[in-house]
Amino acid sequence: MIDKHKPGGECTWSGCITSKAFIHKASEIHNVKKYVDFDYNTTEVMEYVQKVISKVSSHESVDVLSQTGIDFMNGEVRFKSKNVVEVNGELITGKKIFICTGSSPLIPLISGLLDIEYLTNSSF
């Protein structure tokens, strides 16, 4: 397994897992606010999200992957041929190579957006 960031990829660190944790907390806060005047603490929300990320990523660590027979390398992959990739100057041959690219945020072409500070799932 090769990733240019951390094991777990975009889903764990800035995508699916994080958004579901935020949605879960937002739903809890929304339900409480229906019945009582309630001020929530954004620091506590972020701590909860980080706790969820930490729990999920602990099952995707380099040590855990290694225990299941998966070697992890950090770097960018370049195909050299159908069955050979290069990572950090090292050539790796495989019968089958899976490409899991993850995603990156799309910045919409909205007038003035590039002139202000904005957040994406990666920078939030």
Q: What is the pLDDT of residues 46-65, one digit of tens each?
A: 999 999 999 999 999 999 99
User: Domain with 35 in it: what CATH number?
Assistant: 3.50.50.60
**Statement: residue 102 has pLDDT above 80:** no
Q: What pTM, to 2 d.p., does this model score?
A: 0.74
- Is residue 36 situated within a structural domain? yes
**Statement: residue 71 has pLDDT above 90:** no
Contacts of residue 100, Cβ cutoff 8 Å, sequence gap at least 6: 9
Total domains present in the chain: 1
- Closest Cα partner for 87 from 20, 10, 16, 97? 97
> Which residue range forms the structural domain that includes residue 59?
2-102
- Is residue 124 situated within a structural domain? no
**Statement: residue 111 has pLDDT above 80:** yes
- Is residue 12 situated within a structural domain? yes
Report which DSSP code applies to 88. T
